[in-house]
Amino acid sequence: MYMHVGEEVLVRTKDIIAILDIDSASSSPYMEDFIARQDQKIVHLTKGAVKSIVVTGNHIYFSPLASGTLKKRSQKLSVQEF
């Protein structure tokens, strides 16, 4: 299944490694270092404020959707896959 992560972008749910809240990711020096090393793989999906970060094996998406919203969407998709 696919999940909408913002700006008409769909990501395969089985490719998602993590969904992180921007506030908690910003406060972690480890996460800041990880993102700084991934410049070519970062996809900005928002023209305004970033609310969450979706990490996959190939890209890091800066999403305008809240991490709680994305979590709910992923749980609904998981049930529908079976």
Give 48-74 pLDDT, tens digit per residue. 999 999 999 999 999 999 999 998 888
Assess if residue 82 is contained within a domain.
Answer: no
User: Rounded distance, CA 11 to CA 16, Å?
Assistant: 8
Can you give the residue range of the structural domain that contains 68?
A: 2-77
Assess if residue 38 is contained within a domain.
Answer: yes
Question: Would you say 28 and 18 are in contact if contact means Cβ atoms under 8 Å apart?
Answer: no
Q: pLDDT above 70 covers what percent of the chain?
A: 93
Residue 9 has pLDDT above 50, yes or no: yes
* pTM score above 0.75: yes
Number of domains present in the structure of the chain: 1
Q: How many angstroms separate the most distant Cα atoms in the chain?
A: 38
| Per-residue burial over 35-71, b = 16 or more CB atoms within 10 Å of its CB, e = otherwise | beeeeeeebebeeeebbbbbbbeebbbbbbbebebbe
Assess if residue 48 is contained within a domain.
Answer: yes
Assess if residue 60 is contained within a domain.
Answer: yes
- pLDDT at residue 39 in the model: 78
